[in-house]
Amino acid sequence: MKIKELRLHPAAIADGPLRSSYGRHAPYALRTLVELKTTDGITGISETYGGDGPLAALEAARPLVEGRDPFQLTPLWMDLAQRAEQDRKGGDRSQTYLVPGENPLDVHTRTYAALEVACLDVIGKAVGKPLCDLVGGRARSSPPFSAYLFYKHGGGGGMGDDAREDEYGECLTPESMVAQCKQMVAKYGFKEIKLKGGVLDPDQEIETLRQLRAAFGPAYPLRIDPNCAWSVETSVRVGRKLKDELSGGGYLEDPAAGMDGMAEVRQRLLAEGNETPLASNVATTAFEHLPVAQRTGAVQIVLSDPHYWGGIRNQQHLSKFAEVLGLGLSMHSNNHLGVSMMIMAHASACCPHLTFACDTHYPWQTEVDEVVLGGRVPIVDGCVHIPDKPGLGVELDYDQLARVSERYRKLPYRKRDDEAEMRKHVDPNWKRILPRW
Ligand code: GKR
Ligand code: MG
């Protein structure tokens, strides 16, 4: 069997005006759906970052993909990884200043990941096995995800005639965040809670976590992620004030910028007897970051993501690597559709060492844009069950795909730019400043 054709489908999916230290989400998030057609008539699918950059990188890989045996993933990795080596000499692979999916030094790892998943989907369909069972089987069949809360402005995303209903409403206070969380937990049954911070004054975010703890109790572990918006001083102050709220399975995620900043936060908290672990998807984005993170104490929990760590098999390597280094492991996310939901579910299912419920932005997208045949992937009791179907276990709905691709073509932007959205809607002079507090 050979890969006959690579097909790429850009997609624009409605997204509410969610806030983070990067700025404000645009009315549509961008994704790319990937199809591999084989000589045996099998189609493998995948999903990855969107916009013209990721699309061009996948397009550039076409000569490496078409004509290749989909089972031969190692040589594909070697072809793409060699390029990655050349690209990243001396560069900064962190996500401190760039949103995930935009760091040019990661581009080949991301491209490989999208292609690897589509090849594994082909292989799964060829042998009649779910993807996670192809790579050694499952540590769990229903991986858990967490409620991912965002401060947000009013609006449910989309533009003009396509403006969407706002399911959760404006949320810029501790009280409205508790309401958002209750609504999300009631709908999806999540058992762990993550708050995207770095938006309001840190004291208001502290108050938000306190109110969440009061409303949900210690059975629901809490985390907060300001994406490096705080100085070391502020991070230590917040860590100190939230010691109780972040205990019992919670963590403090990327409070300060850089490995040095994170290490200093950790040392100062430990010196006060505060063992709140630090998690990161910003400082640690590649295998070479882990020994440093462990040695300096900068990171205790690595937030993986098969989309930029190099696919599902690399996710398994990461699980082992983290275990050996004594680091915890969970998973980061970005806005995504059902295909990525299944990528994340299979990646979580096949990793023995996964120590926290994973992030997902899935509640922020709706049925209207779903490209999975039959509709949204169900989240029940906070978990995504791996169906007894070959490969990823989902197929594309081509009518829906045509709609979201058409919307992409009509969009005036081709790249995520949260800073531009802030300037357009909130403050014409807004700039992302690190640290802001
Ligand atoms: O969607 O705005 C967002 C998040 O801030 C996202 O871009 C982050 O990559 O979820 C991510 C994180 O945990 O840092
Ligand atoms: Mg994060």
In the set 332, 336, 346, 361, the catalytic residue is 332
d(CA 67, ligand 1 centre) in Å: 36
Residue 188's closest CA among 130, 149, 132, 154?
A: 149
At 220 the pLDDT is 98
Phi, psi at residue 251, to the nearest 5°? -160, 165
d(CA 334, ligand 1 centre) in Å: 6
d(CA 18, ligand 1 centre) in Å: 10
Which stretches of the chain drop beneath a pLDDT of 50?
Answer: none
Is 361 a residue of the active site?
A: no
In the set 9, 196, 307, 346, the catalytic residue is 196
At 170 the pLDDT is 98
* Cβ of residue 228 lying under 6 Å from some atom of ligand 1: no
| CATH code of the domain made up of 3-133+400-409 | 3.30.390.10
Tokens of 36: 């591999």
- Residue pair 199/18 in contact (Cβ under 8 Å)? The answer is no
Closest-approaching ligand to the CA atom of 95: 1
- Residue pair 188/54 in contact (Cβ under 8 Å)? The answer is no
- Domain residue spans of the chain: 3-133+400-409, 137-391
* Cβ of residue 20 lying under 6 Å from some atom of ligand 1: yes
At 59 the pLDDT is 98
Neighbour tally for 160: CB within 10 Å: 6
Q: Residue 62, class by beta-carbon neighbours within 10 Å (0-12 exposed, 13-18 middle, 19+ buried)?
A: exposed
Closest-CA residue, ligand 1 atom 6, reads 334
With tokens 């790319």, the residue in question is 32
* Cβ of residue 334 lying under 6 Å from some atom of ligand 1: yes
At 88 the pLDDT is 63
Q: What ligand 1 atom has the least distance to the C-alpha of 332?
A: 13
Closest-approaching ligand to the CA atom of 279: 2
Is the domain defined by 137-391 classed in CATH 3.20.20.120? yes
Phi, psi at residue 12, to the nearest 5°? -120, 125
- What is the per-residue pLDDT across 141-162, written as a single tens digit (0 to 9) for each? 999 999 999 999 999 999 999 9
Is 424 a residue of the active site?
A: no
At 280 the pLDDT is 98
Fold matches, 3-133+400-409 and 137-391: no
